[in-house]
Structure 1
Amino acid sequence: MSDFFSGGIPGIDELFKGIFGDFSPFGGFNGFGSRSRRRSAPRREVGQDIEDLTEITFEEAMFGVKKDIVIERYTPCDMCEGTGAEDPSSIKSCPECEGSGRVRKMSQSGFGMIIRESSCYTCNGTGQVIDKKCTVCVGKKVIPEQKTIHVPIPPGIEDSVHLKIQGAGHIPSTNAIPGDLYLGVRIIDNDKFIRRGNDLYTPTNIDIVTAIIGGKIIVPTLDYKEKKITEKELSLPPGTQPGTEFRIKNRGVSYMRRKGKGDQYIIVNIEIPKKISEKQKELLLKFKEINK
């Protein structure tokens, strides 16, 4: 809101001219009278953003996926081309602001008369009013539409990340800058993998005999060539202890901002049987005797 002063102190302009010459410290005021200025070009309207949420599987998060997201947004009405009027002749100049989109109100102060300028409340600053409204948008100038947005989700994305899709938001008028779409991503857990940063941890149960004498086990892992979860054979040494971690290099999560991948760690958990047969008990006792 701008303030313009009129009236004021007689001779003040001459006083400042004597001090400052042709330069006036009031930047264009003539003795606190009228002020001349150029009307700045109107800024382009910017549409509101849209927020949405999508769910993806663990595999889709690891290997990347393209998702079709259906959104609802407002766009300029096709029938009236975003004018809100039944036809061009129904658009009139606002009688309140005389088409300027701005109104002035005067009030008295100790400095004289203050003129306050603001946006016209009758036409909302457009300078135009509509006699007959468009039958489709009912003068609102926009209509709702459903639009399918193709969103590429990169490999290695983390849970709860928001992707910005520029220009996919609301479009309030024909010359407006569209808003953006912010798509939140929720990743469905996979019970075979625990993610920590770009590394994956896979708890794996082995029997007590394999832990003692060693052996080969099958573990789930990621196949980036085939873009799927597959299985890999892993050799365990004799005497493997509970909680031991075995690393499989480059089988973790892809880095989003640089090349490469994290690692996968197989965490060994040794299963102790709760019930054993008499034969098993006999053999274990023999093993105990031998091991003394």
Structure 2
Amino acid sequence: MFKKIVMFLYVMNLAFVGNAFAAGQDREDGLPGMPYRTPTDKEFRVCADPENLPYSNQKGEGFENKIAEVLAKDLGKELTYEFWLDRQGYLRNTINAQRCDVIIGMGSDVDTLRTSKPYYRSGYVFVYRKSSNYNIKDWNSEDLRKGIIGIVGESPPTIPLRDNDLMANARPYRLQRDLNLPPGHMIDDLVAGKIDVAIIWGPLGGYYAKKAKEPLVVVPLPEFKSERNSFDTLKGKAEFNISLAVRKKDKDRMEMIQGALDRNQSKILKILDDYGIPHVPVVLSDKIGN
């Protein structure tokens, strides 16, 4: 889920997880000789992953699918997709190859694309079984020391996990998604009792917790400042602004879409709520649209 984690990891070392600067590596014009379909003025062409819920799938069941539907309807355009697995090369083979024009969810501070004003902000969460009777609110919660903690290796919460001497409790999960496993497999492991607490990106945690067969508790991670880390701007960051993105040169397209985003903000937030996506008010002091 490369583009989904581009906004979450320090120094962009994971350009939406493990995409290793994917946005920076992808050429502005895609690979030489790659074919693309000439769009019509009536199309709203979205780049999306075909099987990456809660974001998107080919059946249109993801929350980003629903946001795309709202925007296309507002603009009076036909919604079409270019589906491509969200891994290294995603941008190169989709938006930069001219096969599609819009990415619905992207970190607001990505420099290689033109991003909208943030339309929501989300963060990492603690998720645990309600039946455990845990009461986890922050990194000082003693219940964190009682069980196994699932966490994605190299994700921002690994810093406060380390600084609170909790690494011995950690069970690491792969940074790059294993396509043989469902996107919510950490939550599946939590329900199965293989781990006791999941520390996971909020949209994943909130959505799969809502769908779980066992009641789960979802608690936002607090922002955290590491006493061991000298990089002030990168200390334990837990929340990120999310924007829509187009190609850097598509200024007119972005202005058109920004109007639709502004007109439909309440509908978009309702979609997030319907999918169990945790969100907080956008922080405008963060870098926003370019």
TM-score, normalised via structure 2 length: 0.15
| Greater fraction helix | 2
